[in-house]
Each structure stands twice: as C-alpha cells, then as structure tokens.
C-alpha cells in the first residue's frame, strides 16, 4: 500500500512505520491518522512481521494533533467526541497488536505524540528527545490514553505533576522516572532500535505474543487469576514446536530458530 504521510518498510522481520510530515513536526492530520492505522493493521496481520517499530522523520517523533485539525473548530460536544475516535484507535491498535511494538523516539513527543509512544511496549529515546503532556497549556484534557498509560509508567504522583503542569521533560529525566527503557546518542538511535527489534524478531513469536497479552491483563487481575493465565499459556507453549526447538538448541549449544508453531 502506498502512503503519503507516513513511511512503511519491512526488514529482517521488522516493520518500520515512520510519521512523515517533518516540516510540521509530524503533527497528526486525519490522513496521517488513517494511514498510521492502516500501517499498524498491515504490520499486525503480516506473518512475516514479528516486531513493529514506530518512529518519526526529521527532528520530531510526533508533535500531537495538527492545530488545523477539524477537531479544533468543532463546536458540538457530540462532534468532538466522535472526532476523537480516529485518535483513540491508534493506542488501541498498538497495545492490542499481537507482537512487540517499539517506539523509537527521535525528537519531540508531545501531546498525543507522547501518548502514542507510551502505548508502545518499549521506548528507546534519542538524547535529543523531549516528552510533554501539554494539553493543560491550551486548556484541554489529555487524550490518546495519557491518563491511562502515564500513571502505569511513572506512578500516580509523577503522572499528576506532568499532566497538570504540562512540563516538558528531557530524555534523561524520562529514563530516570521509568517512562523510557533506554536513552542513546541521537546518532546511535537507529542502530540501537534495529538491534533490539531484530533480536526480538528472532524470538518465539507465539510466546512473545502471549507474554505481551499476559503482562497487560495482569495489571487488571488478582494474583490467582494471573497464575491461572500463566498455567493456561504454559499448557499451550510446552507442546509447541518452538519449545521443542528451544530445548534442542540449548542442548546443541546453538541459537534456536523459532518458526511460530
């Protein structure tokens, strides 16, 4: 599929999706939201893709909604509520994709852009990255999952501070408070992200998919329910070809070649 506001490529089992309006700091338009959704869906359904990477072109990851978006001109609460659906589809897709999703944050990630990064399973950030929940600065409520993802990443007190003040933080502070996994020099971001993504792509895809689902479901479960899910997953995976290959590879002192079966 041809895209105009994003780029999409596949390499070594990894789908790379990049917001591509660098002259507008990759701010989100309706077309960009639609194309991003289509690309995520394409990657999620492609059996050749085992990992998804989300990044931005130019000096920004994503600056949130384009201020020219029709949503900012809407006057009817019903119209505004309906208009949010295109924004809120993306975090659901990222979180529900049955494979690992990595945000490779190359620059500014603010507003909805920050929350799309938080919707990913892991975040690798350039030392030039900045994160900001800037909604309060223009008198609106966080969206795109900010009130859901941020407290789970950094805890309630820090989430309250960042959401209520709109303070923009640098990558090192984001790493210190647990918002991102790792910060690397800007010129190392692409290589570091690729190394992680390709390593995950060589892993057992069914097990990774189940792990992802279990981790997020466990946040809403009590311990007995989480343990029951773990037992159910093991009952499936212990009988898988991937498990048998993993054991063979361990005994033969080689890297396993997982097929997702």
pLDDT given for residue 99 in this prediction: 98
Look at the chain and report how many structural domains it folds into. Answer: 2
Is 1 within the bounds of a domain?
no
Pick from 111, 108, 152, 105: nearest CA to 124: 105
Residues 124 and 18 grouped into a single domain = yes
Around Cβ 224, how many Cβ atoms within 10 Å?
Answer: 8
Is 85 within the bounds of a domain?
yes
Q: Which residues of the chain have pLDDT under 50?
A: none
pLDDT given for residue 85 in this prediction: 83
Q: What is the CATH number of the domain that holds 232?
A: 1.10.12
Entry pTM: 0.94
pLDDT given for residue 83 in this prediction: 78
Pick from 92, 80, 139, 138: nearest CA to 119: 92
Residue 24 sits in which domain range? Answer: 6-201
Q: What is the mean pLDDT of the chain?
A: 95
Q: pLDDT tens for residues 180-190?
A: 999 999 999 99
DSSP bridge partners of 56: 19
pLDDT given for residue 117 in this prediction: 99
């Amino acid at each position: 599929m041809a895209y105009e506001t994003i780029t999409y490529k596949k390499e070594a089992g990894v789908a790379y999706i990049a917001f591509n309006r660098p002259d507008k700091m990759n701010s989100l338009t309706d077309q960009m939201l639609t194309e991003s959704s289509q690309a995520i869906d394409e990657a999620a359904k492609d059996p050749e893709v085992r990992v998804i990477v989300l990044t931005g072109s130019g000096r920004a990851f994503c600056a949130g909604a384009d201020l020219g978006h029709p949503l900012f001109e809407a006057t009817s609460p019903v119209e505004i509520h309906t208009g949010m659906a295109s924004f809120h589809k993306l975090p659901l897709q990222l979180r529900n994709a049955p494979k690992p999703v990595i945000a490779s944050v190359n620059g500014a990630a603010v507003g909805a852009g920050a929350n799309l990064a938080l919707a990913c399973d892991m975040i690798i950030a350039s030392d030039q990255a900045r994160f900001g929940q800037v909604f309060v600065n223009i008198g609106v409520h966080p969206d795109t999952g900010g009130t859901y993802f941020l407290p789970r990443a950094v805890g309630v007190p820090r989430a309250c501070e960042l959401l209520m003040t709109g303070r923009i933080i640098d990558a090192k502070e984001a790493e210190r408070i647990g918002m991102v996994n790792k910060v690397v020099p800007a010129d190392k971001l692409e290589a570091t992200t690729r190394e992680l993504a390709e390593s995950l792509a060589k892993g057992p895809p069914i097990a990774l998919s189940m792990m992802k689902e279990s981790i997020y479901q466990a946040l809403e479960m009590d311990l007995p329910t989480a343990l029951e899910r773990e037992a159910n997953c093991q009952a499936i995976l212990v009988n898988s070809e991937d498990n048998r290959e993993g054991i063979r590879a361990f005994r033969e002192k080689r890297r396993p070649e997982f097929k997702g079966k």
